[in-house]
């Protein structure tokens, strides 16, 4: 293996580790984002892709539109998973590029010398807590099952008797 390939592999491994570190030492991770060379940006693209998709999925699952999907559209569980997957891709892409452009605009108005690419990367790492919120979905599914995606629920509620 060449020295350049080993360096690239090491940088990629470092960014996967930094992805976990963003929850405990975010200031350090955001300081590492100042390195905007092509090698550094290439090394962090896969963790950013994962965070963007998971943040998009968290946004889709928390939306009101999906909260009634099993009622309104007569979907089954597989259809709902496919819809959520593609909606998460769309949310992630739009969020990454459109909100990244707004982040870049805000940085430029504040006098930053950063690039559009770095603004998108900062936004992606800032969305890591949103992506982490998906860890609660298995608990929600265990507690409420398919009622997460239906209005009302399967219970009859409190019955008042005269």
78-133 confidence digits (pLDDT tens): 888 888 899 999 988 999 999 999 999 999 999 988 899 999 999 999 999 999 98
Average pLDDT, the chain: 83
pLDDT at 150: 67
* Domain residue limits, the chain: 54-148
**Per-residue pLDDT at 161:** 54
Q: Look up tokens 């265990």; give the residue.
A: 142
The pLDDT tens digits for 1-14 are: 566 666 778 889 99
pTM comes to 0.76
CB 30 within 8 A of CB 133: no
């Amino acid at each position: 293996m060449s020295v350049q390939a080993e360096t690239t592999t090491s940088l990629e491994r470092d960014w996967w580790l930094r992805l976990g570190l963003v929850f405990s030492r975010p200031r350090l991770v955001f300081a590492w984002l100042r390195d905007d060379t092509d090698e550094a940006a290439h090394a962090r693209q896969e963790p950013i892709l994962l965070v963007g998709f998971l943040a998009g999925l968290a946004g889709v699952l928390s939306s009101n539109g999906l909260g009634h999907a099993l009622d309104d559209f007569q979907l089954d569980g597989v259809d709902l998973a496919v819809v959520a997957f593609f909606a998460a891709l769309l949310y992630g892409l739009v969020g990454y590029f459109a909100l990244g452009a707004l982040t870049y605009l805000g940085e430029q108005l504040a006098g930053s010398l950063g690039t559009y690419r770095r603004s998108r990367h900062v936004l992606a790492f800032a969305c890591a807590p949103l992506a982490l919120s998906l860890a609660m979905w298995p608990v929600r599914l265990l507690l409420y099952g398919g009622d997460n995606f239906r209005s009302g629920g399967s219970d009859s509620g409190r019955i008042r008797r005269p």
